[in-house]
Amino acid sequence: MKDIDKKNNKKTLRVFLFGTIEKKLFFFFLGAIFLPLIIAGLINLKNASDILLELSLDRMLHDSDFRAREIAFNLENFKKEVIFLANNNIILNLVTNDDISVESNTETSVVKLADVFKKVISVNEGEIYQIRFLNEKGKEVVKVVSKNGEIQQISEENLQIKSNRDYFQEVKKLKQGEFYVSNLNLNKEDIPPKIEIPYTAIIKYASPVYDRNGVFKGAVILNLFSHAILKSFSSTTTKEHYDLGVQYNLIKEFLIDKDGFYMLHPERQKMWGGVENLNTGINIKSDFSEETVQEIFSKKFGTIYLKDQEFVLAYHTIVLNPQFPETFWVSLKGIPESVVLSKGVQLKKTFIFFIFLAIIFAGFLIYFLSRIIARPIKKLREGVMLIEQGDFSHKVGTDKEDEIGILSRAFDRVTAKLLALRSEKLELLEKSKIELEKKVTEKTISLREAQDAVLDVLVDVKKSKSKIEEEKAKSEAIFSSIGEGLVVLDEKGIVNVVNQKALVLLDFRRSSPLGKSWENVLVVQEKEKIFEKDKKTLSFDKIFVEVPENKILHLFRTDKTSFPALISASPIILNNKHVGAVIAFRDVTREMEVDKAKSEFVSLASHQLRTPLSSINWFSEMLMDKEIGELNEKQNSYLMEIDKSSHRMTELVGALLNVSRIELGTLVINPTPTDIRKVMKDVLDELKLAINQKKIKVKIDFQKNLSILNVDDKIIRVAFQNLVSNAVKYTQEGGQIKIEIKEKNKDIIISVADNGLGIPKKFHERIFSKLYRADNVRNTDTAGTGLGLYITKSIIEQSGGKIWFESPTTEIKNKDGEMIAGGTTFYCTIPKTGMKSKKGSRELS
Amino acid sequence: MNKKILIVEDEAPILKLMQEVLEKEGFNIITANNGERGFELAMSEKPQLIILDLMLPKLSGREVLNKLRKTEEHKDTRIFILTNISGVENIESFVDSDKTSYFLKTDIKMKKLVKNIKEFFEDI
- Average the pLDDT over A770-783 and give the result: 60
Distances (CA, A) of A121 to A77, A117, A271: 13, 6, 25
Which domains does chain A carry? 59-338 (3.30.450.20), 482-587 (3.30.450.20), 668-831 (3.30.565.10)
A842 with B106: Cβ contact below 8 A? no
R_g of chain A, CA atoms, integer Å: 68
- Entry field: residues in chain B: 124
Helix (H, G, I), strand (E, B) or coil at A331: strand
Q: Which of B13, B14, B55 sits opposite A607 (nearest CB)?
A: B55
A614 to chain B, any CB pair closer than 8 A? The answer is: yes
Q: What is the pLDDT of residues A80-115, one digit of tens each?
A: 888 888 888 778 777 776 555 444 566 777 888 888
Distance (Å, rounded) from C-alpha A589 to C-alpha A260?
94
Q: What is the pLDDT of residues A107-135, one digit of tens each?
A: 777 888 888 888 888 887 778 888 888 88
pLDDT surpasses 50 at B80: yes
- What is the number of other CB atoms lying within 10 angstroms of the CB of residue A152? 14
Contacts of A621 in chain B (CB under 8 A): 109-111
Q: What is the mean pLDDT of chain B?
A: 84
Of these ranges, A226-240, A322-336, A535-549, B29-43, the one predicted with the greatest mean pLDDT is B29-43
A650 with B106: Cβ contact below 8 A? yes
Q: Report the sign of the C-alpha dihedral through residues A356, A360, A361, A367, in that order.
A: positive
Distance (Å, rounded) from C-alpha B124 to C-alpha B115?
15
Lowest mean pLDDT among A212-221, A311-320, A530-539, A777-786: A530-539
Q: What is the mean pLDDT of chain A?
A: 76
Report the pLDDT value the prediction gives residue A842, as an integer from 0 to 100: 46
Report the pLDDT value the prediction gives residue B6, as an integer from 0 to 100: 92
Of these ranges, A157-171, A345-359, A609-623, A800-814, the one predicted with the greatest mean pLDDT is A609-623
Question: pLDDT over 70 for what percent of chain A?
Answer: 81
Nearest to A257 by CA among A273, A268, A269: A273
Q: What is the pLDDT of residues A642-687, one digit of tens each?
A: 888 888 888 888 878 777 777 776 666 777 888 888 888 888 888 8
Contacts of A657 in chain B (CB under 8 A): 86-87
Our CA angle for A130, A136, A140, nearest 5°, is 35
pLDDT surpasses 70 at A333: yes
Report the pLDDT value the prediction gives residue B31, as an integer from 0 to 100: 92
Tell me the nearest-neighbour CA distance from A608 into chain B, angstroms. 8
- Structure ipTM: 0.85
Contact A296, A328 (CB under 8 A): no
Report the pLDDT value the prediction gives residue A188, as an integer from 0 to 100: 60
pLDDT surpasses 50 at A548: yes
B107 with A843: Cβ contact below 8 A? no
Tell me the nearest-neighbour CA distance from A612 into chain B, angstroms. 9
A510 to chain B, any CB pair closer than 8 A? The answer is: no
Contact A92, A212 (CB under 8 A): yes
A622 with B83: Cβ contact below 8 A? no
Res. A273 pLDDT band, cuts 50 70 90 = low
- Entry field: residues in chain A: 845
Lowest mean pLDDT among A367-371, A520-524, A769-773, B33-37: A769-773
Report the pLDDT value the prediction gives residue A587, as an integer from 0 to 100: 83
Contact A404, A380 (CB under 8 A): yes
pLDDT surpasses 60 at A812: no
Report the pLDDT value the prediction gives residue A809, as an integer from 0 to 100: 59
Residues contacting A178, CB < 8 A, separation 6+ = A83, A207, A208, A323
Lowest mean pLDDT among A12-26, A46-60, A537-551: A537-551
A617 to chain B, any CB pair closer than 8 A? The answer is: yes
Report the pLDDT value the prediction gives residue A545, as an integer from 0 to 100: 47
Res. A241 pLDDT band, cuts 50 70 90 = very low
Please state the φ and ψ torsions of residue A736, each to the nearest 5 degrees.
-135, 140
- Average the pLDDT over A579-596 and give the result: 79
- What is the number of other CB atoms lying within 10 angstroms of the CB of residue A222? 26
A672 to chain B, any CB pair closer than 8 A? The answer is: no
A239 to chain B, any CB pair closer than 8 A? The answer is: no
Q: What is the pLDDT of residues A45-78, one digit of tens each?
A: 788 777 877 777 787 778 778 777 877 887 788 8
- Average the pLDDT over B83-91 and give the result: 68
R_g of chain B, CA atoms, integer Å: 13
- Average the pLDDT over A753-780 and give the result: 71
Nearest to A211 by CA among A116, A100, A82, A108: A100
Distance (Å, rounded) from C-alpha B1 to C-alpha B123?
13
Higher confidence at residue A316 or residue A529? A316
pLDDT surpasses 50 at A535: no
A614 with B85: Cβ contact below 8 A? no
B14 with A618: Cβ contact below 8 A? yes
Q: Closest-CA residue in chain B for A715?
A: B87
Our CA angle for B65, B90, A561, nearest 5°, is 90
Tell me the nearest-neighbour CA distance from B73 into chain A, angstroms. 28
Nearest to A369 by CA among A27, A37, A34, A35: A27
Contact A82, A207 (CB under 8 A): yes
Sequence-ordered strand ranges (E) for A383-516: 485-490, 495-498
Q: What is the pLDDT of residues A491-527, one digit of tens each?
A: 777 888 888 888 888 888 777 888 887 777 777 776 6
pLDDT surpasses 60 at A4: no
Q: Closest-CA residue in chain B for A841?
A: B89
Our CA angle for A665, A667, A668, nearest 5°, is 130
Which domains does chain B carry? 4-123 (3.40.50.2300)
What pairs with residue A222 in β-bridges?
A: A131, A205
Report the pLDDT value the prediction gives residue A275, as an integer from 0 to 100: 62
Q: Which of A606, A607, A621 sits opposite B109 (nearest CB)?
A: A621
Tell me the nearest-neighbour CA distance from A727 into chain B, angstroms. 23
Please report the number of interchain residue pairs, chain A to chain B, with beta-carbon separation below 8 angstroms.
Answer: 70
pTM of the complete model: 0.39
Distance (Å, rounded) from C-alpha A165 to C-alpha A33?
79
- Average the pLDDT over A137-155 and give the result: 82
Report the pLDDT value the prediction gives residue B50, as an integer from 0 to 100: 92
Can you list the alpha helix ranges (DSSP code H) found in A627-774?
Answer: 633-664, 676-686, 688-693, 713-729
Res. B7 pLDDT band, cuts 50 70 90 = very high
Respond yes or no on whether the N-terminal peptide bond of residue A760 is cis (omega within 30° of 0): no
